[in-house]
Structure 1
Amino acid sequence: MFGFITKLAVATTMAISTLALPAAAQDGGKDMARILSQKVVRVGAVEAFPSYRQDLASSKWEGIFPETVEALFGAIGVKVEYVPTEWGTAAAGLQSGRFDLIGGYSATPERALAVGFTIPVARVGVGLAAATAEKQAAAANWADLNKPEVRISLADGSATMRMVQRLIPKATYVAVKTEDAAILELESGRVDYFASTESSLSRYGQARKNVHVGYPKPEIGQNSTFALRKGEHDFQEWLNVSLGALIADGTIPGIRAKFLNPSK
């Protein structure tokens, strides 16, 4: 009798667990098969140049990650469709099936509970832009900024936001939807600093020669990856192999250099 009850309990637990999982997770994932069958992949895209930018005239997306996914999926004859999203809602977009993957999504322990990740395509530093040399000199160390009178703008829901807030929790934060809006906060004088990744800061510094970009000590950074739905093991394996090949043959480093150092 005890053995029967034990088996029944185990079976019931497994059934409940299965019901609690999304359909894709129950069968090990079907995204790769669907993508190959339909010849279309849906990619989440965030207005955050040089990672992503949509041309208003043509509606075409450009940047590091659009060019990377075009190289990835063009090799197997799959068309890329872009789905606009924001960093703060990207995980929900993946889970709900609005899109299949998103690039430039930093891998963190918290995010790994909700989505799957590929191998890193790059490690990007996190720093600050200031409107004056004096402000930048005052930001030699993160600890120097850990006070309420220091105001910092950043993109809401970004990995940068979580990282910087954890490091200097006493600073005052102005979280806005996009990096362009965060930059406007700095240029209008409403904040002292704009916090972002090296990718965004380097392009911003090139575009605005009067802006001062720096990386306080200790240096911090993020692993830039692609995120996808949990349980999509075939898709994840293919992405890892393909990304590794594009890193090794210089394609991805070349794309990054094109957008991060356009004058070279």
Structure 2
Amino acid sequence: MKLNTLKTVAAAAATAVVVSLSPALAQDSDLQRILDEKVVRVGAVEAYPSYRQDLASGEWEGIYPEIVEALFSQIGVEVEFVPTEWGTAAAGLQSGRFDLIGGFSARPERALVVAFTDPVAQVPVGVAFSSEENASLATNWDSLNNSDVRIAVADGSATMRMVQKMAPNATFVPVKTEDAAILELESDRVDFFASTESSLTLYGRARADAVTVNYPEPKIGQDSGFALRKAQPEFQDWLTVSLNSMVSDGTIPAIRSKFLNPQE
């Protein structure tokens, strides 16, 4: 009798512990909070065609806004965009300002502080230039590896780190946004604007009469995916499975093509 009583007490105690822990576990789960609140906060950087905010409406458009809208609409979750910059995006994730950010390339130093999904695309990195005198320099990274060469790039971006590795002796002009980097080039304050194929394709098309885009040898590129806070395995698994499905069924390739190869 005493043994049965002890078992009953022990079982009740165990149940109490589970019940008391469950709210804490739920509170620590980004995925559960998102499902409960039906809102996900997504970091957004002014870097078209990846992201762009319409100044009149305040709405965000671009490759990654369209991907996340398609992704979270499947589970009835509203997307709320939070403006940020590439250089402060990791801190924004860590502090909880937003839950994830797309177009954030996986790099060893970044992986120390945030988690990543599988890539949704592989994106080449290259340069744009306006002076034909620079055409020969743009053929390979060794030619760009000179202190006389000035390269504008978005500060804190994966592109900046990659290009600095390929041409460490070049003079880099880090600016807050890609629009600012383009202004540096068009004002003749730099020789090159370095970015990903996504941005270079649209810029080169828009300024075909004045700008040339090239991808120096050896070819380099980024695995572009989504970043989220560390220690969120359920959210990371769900994102990876869902995004891989959207790549396989053609949803993400179609979105990328829509912005990179718009119909004339």
* TM-score, normalised by the number of residues in structure 2: 0.89
The DSSP-based 3-state class of the residue aligned with 1:157 is coil
CA contact (8 A) 2:41 2:81 kept: yes
**Alignment correspondent of 1:208:** 207
User: Is the counterpart of residue 186 in structure 1 residue 185 in structure 2?
Assistant: yes
User: Is the counterpart of residue 53 in structure 1 residue 48 in structure 2?
Assistant: no
Shift in Å, 1:201: 0.3
Task: Kindly provide the amino acid, as one letter, of the partner of residue 97 in structure 2.
Answer: R
User: Is the counterpart of residue 174 in structure 1 residue 173 in structure 2?
Assistant: yes
1:87-236 paired onto structure 2 within 5 Å? 87-209=86-208, 210-236=210-236
The DSSP-based 3-state class of the residue aligned with 1:41 is strand
Q: Structure 1: how far apart are the matches of 2:175 and 2:131?
A: 22
Task: Kindly provide the amino acid, as one letter, of the partner of residue 75 in structure 1.
Answer: Q
The DSSP-based 3-state class of the residue aligned with 2:254 is helix
Shift in Å, 1:137: 2.7
CA shift digits 1:30-82 (9 cap, x unpaired): 00000000000000000000000000011000000000000000011000000
Q: Structure 2: how far apart are the matches of 1:28 and 1:123?
A: 35
Structure 1: 5+ residue runs without aligned partners?
1-25
The DSSP-based 3-state class of the residue aligned with 1:88 is helix
Shift in Å, 1:172: 0.2
Aligned length, in residue pairs: 240
The DSSP-based 3-state class of the residue aligned with 1:253 is helix
**Alignment correspondent of 2:252:** 252
Task: Kindly provide the amino acid, as one letter, of the partner of residue 47 in structure 1.
Answer: E
**Alignment correspondent of 2:35:** 36
**Alignment correspondent of 2:263:** 263
* TM-score, normalised by the number of residues in structure 1: 0.89
Shift in Å, 1:263: 2.6
After superposing on structure 2, the runs of 4+ consecutive aligned residues of structure 1 that deviate more than 4 Å are 26-29
CA contact (8 A) 1:29 1:231 kept: no
Task: Kindly provide the amino acid, as one letter, of the partner of residue 207 in structure 2.
Answer: R
Q: Which has the larger radius of gyration?
A: 2
CA contact (8 A) 2:201 2:260 kept: yes
